[in-house]
Amino acid sequence: MVDGMDNSGLKTLIAAADADDPIAALYAIAALRQEIDRAEAAAVRRARNLNISWQYIATALGVSRQAVHKKFGRK
């Protein structure tokens, strides 16, 4: 678990995202997206607290250094 939902909750959402009902699937996908965003932010915070560079974090996320800094840098 990463600052949020436990594995069983994630598995439930993943299963619901494959629902026959497209509206139920969309709700589950939106909830998954929120959980992923929370987990990503927590991992970036931990990486920065360990003095890992923006470039290294960006590479791990598959985005540019500027994009990750814009999204997670101090405002």
pLDDT at 13: 87
Nearest C-alpha neighbor of 3 from the set 36, 33, 39: 39
The domain ranges of the chain are 7-72
Distances (CA, A) of 66 to 2, 32, 55: 25, 25, 8
pLDDT band for 11, please (50, 70, 90 cuts).
confident
pLDDT at 2: 47
What mean pLDDT is predicted for residues 44-64? 97
pLDDT at 1: 45
**Number of neighbours of residue 57 by Cβ within 10 angstroms:** 19
pTM to 2 decimals? 0.78
21, 39 in Cβ contact below 8 A? Answer: no
Judge whether residue 61 has pLDDT over 80. Answer: yes
Task: Give dist(CA 26, CA 4) in Å, integer.
Answer: 20
